[in-house]
Amino acid sequence: MKKVLIGLGVIVVLLVAAVVIIPQFVPLESYKAEIQAQAKQATGRDLRIDGPISLSLFPAIAISVEDVGFSNAPGAAAPEMATIERLDVALQILPLIGGEVAVDRFILERPVISLEVDADGKPNWDIQTGQADTAGGETSSGAGDGESGGGSAVSEIRLGEVRLIDGTFSYADRQSGQEETLSAVNMELSLPSLSEPFAAEGSADWKGETVTLSVNAESPRNLMSGEATNLAMTIEAAPVTFSFDGAARNAEELGLQGQLALAVPSIRNLAAWTGNPLEFPGDGLGPFNLEGVLEMMGAKIALTDAKLSVDEIAADGLFSVDARGAKPVIKAELNVDQLNLNPYLPPEGEGGGEAAASGSGGSGSGAEGGQGDWSDEPIDVSALGALDADLAFNAGGIQFREVKIGKSSLTVLLQDSKLTADLSEMLLYEGAGKGTIVVDGASGQPAISADFDLANFQAGPFLTDLADFDRILGTTETKLSVTAAGASQRELVSSLNGDGAVVFKDGAVKGINLAAMMRNISAAAIEQSFDSAEQTDFAELSGTFQIDKGIVSNKDLTLVAPLVRMTGEGTIPLPPRTVDYQVKPKLVGSLEGQGGESDLAGIAVPIKVTGPWHDISYQPDLAGALSDQIKDPGALLEKVPDADSLKDATEGGAKGLLDKLAPKSGGDGESKSPLDGLLGN
């Protein structure tokens, strides 16, 4: 607006000054050429007056000019910087004698103002305003010393009818490529005096929407002198409504203090309207509302007693933005009741399927048949360097996909392209935890580290919500510490290093009864053993793992349950998305679970778990069973306790159970050994 007023001011002053100095009783049409010559000498620009000029001196100085144009700077896109269809100005005579400007009428009809910055950064409103020096080196006006004597200062301004009708204002920056246009601009001003309230109301069309503006200032004199005054302002358009009611001070920097309110029906629509559409996943970023106490001094803004809402998320607290430095600094402390992140997440499975189906990816990707694969798209971390931030969030609950997290406290520190998120408190499925995630983008690609420690949470509902996996139940403790670095998702996974541990207590493996499965350990029997109605209860299931260059290895998986022990070891190579693992379920002669020994002698047959993630196979390792597990079946049977000690649990005792596992004879009457029955022969 300041740029526009400068352009208008130059034109108006030139027109008024030129007409006033014309001899009062000579027809003005005869002096058009002289007026244009004076404008050329004063500004270096051409003034075009194609319409009639009228002047009256009583009871007020009234000037009317039609069809006026003011030429543009050399090289500008538009030939004229300003055109005006009609300018009508009326000034009272007597107040001028006392140093007051009393405008009875100022009407500007259909002005077209073109503001432009050229490729060298020079604005077209930078106009030469007079001869630099006289021959003696003094300014031609003799009044450029800046002193206020002589009564030349304006002591009062009074505005009567002041209107701008159907104007068009354009701005183009040839350096940045920015171009903006306001059309259908209409404005009315009211200023009885500098000591009385100022009011302005108007509207304009911008990017297909009508924007209305209303401004009221209690004391324009205070505002002009750098003192504070009450100010109220509203801006309304379909995509956004803004209001401020408080105090303003126009000193070296504009200062505001008062109540602010902002309402946005749709963040996405607002961004698209301003020319910055959001490429953001999910279907969130709809309604946004903000209100609070604003304190602004120049480029430093703080909002206290803030209440904001985004979609269904409501929060309160305070935050500030300091844009005085090389990049903005944001600080915030917000309390959120329930934080639902789902509207801001992409649909599950989005992105991986297309890349895999197109055949992209490295060898052993496991992407056959359109299955998921790691992405090779570069990860852009430039946003981490756009600002610095110090944020604190307290949430009554968080939902991520189906995972439901209870009361949580999170701090986020972003400085020099390094983001540290510290989750100091987290209630999780009847348990608790804490964790830290660091994302460092200083090198131009992400370097990530994460540490989590979760205790006493219920694995069943957690894994069901997290990955729709409902086969393990129990009270769980887990620790995880990992690092990764890379330019893409695939590189991150391939560089993953770290370790962790997990313990499940007093739980169950659903879908399989290990003891029953070992009645027939053939491959077909294993496949048929997964039954949602079955489960293996255990006292403890635990293991540790290490991660080296994306390969997860485990050597100490242990399950302790009545009549069953199980160990396991193997690897899960993450880059190719495959499994190479072996479990060893073993029938033992003990009902003891919690606190029971895990290395009891018994019947064990390894099972190999191999293949790509989307097509895992389970096969018995018969060779391993023959060579390692049952070298002396007779001796093993001798170690099994007498039937009486176990008859409450299994009919006939453990020996009877083993007898059932090993049929005594085949269909041809030939006797078979217990090992033959165990192996499904």
Residues paired with 561 in a beta bridge: 564
Lowest mean pLDDT among 40-54, 80-94, 393-407, 608-622: 608-622
What number is the average pLDDT over the span 439-459? 94
Residue type, 680: G
Predicted confidence at residue 631, as pLDDT, reads: 54
**CA-based angle 146:150:152, to the nearest 5?**
70
State the residue for tokens 């159907």. Answer: 166
- Highest mean pLDDT range out of 16-20, 337-341, 417-421, 670-674? 417-421
Predicted confidence at residue 528, as pLDDT, reads: 58
Predicted confidence at residue 415, as pLDDT, reads: 94
- pLDDT, the chain, mean: 80
What number is the average pLDDT over the span 430-443? 94
Rounded Cα distance, 123 and 3, in Å: 10
Are residues 62 and 73 in contact, defined by beta-carbon separation less than 8 angstroms? no
Judged against a pLDDT cut of 70, whether residue 183 lies above it is answered with: yes
Q: Which residue has the higher pLDDT, 617 or 212?
A: 212
Predicted confidence at residue 570, as pLDDT, reads: 96
Which phi and psi angles does 73 have, rounded to 5°? -70, 155
Model pTM above 0.75: no
Q: Which residue has the higher pLDDT, 49 or 523?
A: 49
Are residues 53 and 28 in contact, defined by beta-carbon separation less than 8 angstroms? yes
Rounded Cα distance, 393 and 388, in Å: 16
Nearest to 185 by CA among 147, 212, 218: 212
248: confidence class by pLDDT, cuts 50, 70, 90:
very high
Judged against a pLDDT cut of 60, whether residue 216 lies above it is answered with: yes
Predicted confidence at residue 53, as pLDDT, reads: 85
Lowest mean pLDDT among 6-10, 414-418, 583-587, 671-675: 671-675
For residue 160, give both structure tokens.
């009567």
483: confidence class by pLDDT, cuts 50, 70, 90:
very high
Q: Which residue has the higher pLDDT, 251 or 172?
A: 172
Nearest to 581 by CA among 569, 596, 565: 569
Predicted confidence at residue 470, as pLDDT, reads: 81
Predicted confidence at residue 33, as pLDDT, reads: 81
**CA-based angle 313:314:319, to the nearest 5?**
115
Predicted confidence at residue 278, as pLDDT, reads: 83
What number is the average pLDDT over the span 283-296? 93
Which phi and psi angles does 550 have, rounded to 5°? 85, 0
Judged against a pLDDT cut of 60, whether residue 370 lies above it is answered with: no
Rounded Cα distance, 642 and 131, in Å: 121
pLDDT tens-digit readout, 110-165: 999 999 999 888 999 888 655 444 444 444 444 444 444 444 455 678 888 899 99
Q: What is the DSSP string of 175-187?
A: TT--EEEEEEEEE
What number is the average pLDDT over the span 573-589? 88
Lowest mean pLDDT among 172-181, 572-581, 587-596, 666-675: 666-675
Rounded Cα distance, 200 and 156, in Å: 18
Peptide bond into 59 cis (omega under 30): yes
Q: What is the dihedral of CA 552, 555, 557, 558, to 10 degrees?
A: -170
State the residue for tokens 């165990």. Answer: 678
Predicted confidence at residue 401, as pLDDT, reads: 85
Q: Which residue has the higher pLDDT, 634 or 178?
A: 178
Predicted confidence at residue 641, as pLDDT, reads: 47
Q: CB within 8 A of 501, min separation 6: which ones?
A: 478, 479, 542, 543, 544, 545
Q: Which residue has the higher pLDDT, 119 or 563?
A: 119
Rounded Cα distance, 474 and 541, in Å: 9
Are residues 114 and 80 in contact, defined by beta-carbon separation less than 8 angstroms? yes
What number is the average pLDDT over the span 86-106? 81
Judged against a pLDDT cut of 90, whether residue 213 lies above it is answered with: yes
Predicted confidence at residue 586, as pLDDT, reads: 80
CA distances from 406 to 312, 426, 429, 441 (A): 17, 6, 8, 30
Lowest mean pLDDT among 103-117, 158-172, 361-375, 490-504: 361-375
Predicted confidence at residue 31, as pLDDT, reads: 67
Sign of CA dihedral 352, 354, 360, 365: positive
Sign of CA dihedral 508, 514, 517, 522: positive
Q: CB within 8 A of 394, min separation 6: which ones?
A: 334, 335, 336, 408, 409, 410
Judged against a pLDDT cut of 60, whether residue 91 lies above it is answered with: yes
pLDDT tens-digit readout, 641-669: 444 444 444 444 444 444 444 434 444 54
Are residues 221 and 194 in contact, defined by beta-carbon separation less than 8 angstroms? yes
For residue 501, give both structure tokens.
């541990």
What number is the average pLDDT over the span 421-448? 93
pLDDT tens-digit readout, 334-353: 999 888 888 887 776 554 44
Are residues 152 and 99 in contact, defined by beta-carbon separation less than 8 angstroms? yes
